[in-house]
Amino acid sequence: MSDPRAVVDTSSLISYYLGSQNPARRAIQRLRQTHQFLASPETLDEFREVFLREKFNRISRKLRLSFIAEYSQLVTRIEPQFQIDACVDPKDNKFLSVAVSGNASLILSDDKHLLQLHPFRGIDILASRTYLDRTDVLDPR
């Protein structure tokens, strides 16, 4: 049986790479142990474009590029078969499209527009803290 699948939105990914103990970092570390990550060319492009913005220049461009490359190697890339148009913020629909097309069980996001759709077509959309709380109950280490 294959690992369950998850989609991680851009802001959660950036939080993962920026923080040492923030909820997104801990949630993604935990997810990496149990889930296969899905991304599309569009979601990967957004991650790259956002993370290379000037506001993140306190981290060297070279290091940010290495983070982007690392994540690109970690994910399973898919071309979404379904184009979803359900989110108030149209830029967030790409994460829904990847999740539905890739049969994901989870979208990890701290974006209020995505969170208000929970659950979406049987897919949990959880904030990092909520995911951690739920998995702590299931596996308190």
Whether 28 and 129 have beta carbons less than 8 Å apart is answered as no
DSSP state letter for 123: B
Rounded Cα–Cα distance for residues 99 and 35 (Å): 13
State the Cα–Cα distance between residues 48 and 88, nearest whole angstrom.
23
Q: Are strands 106-108 and 124-126 parallel, antiparallel or unpaired?
A: parallel
Segment 12-70, tens digit of pLDDT: 999 999 887 889 999 999 999 999 999 999 999 999 999 999 999 999 999 999 999 99
**CATH code assigned at 40:** 3.40.50.1010
**Domain encompassing residue 53:** 5-138
Domains of the chain: total:
1
CB neighbours of 12 closer than 8 A, spacing ≥ 6? 24, 27, 28, 108, 109, 110, 128
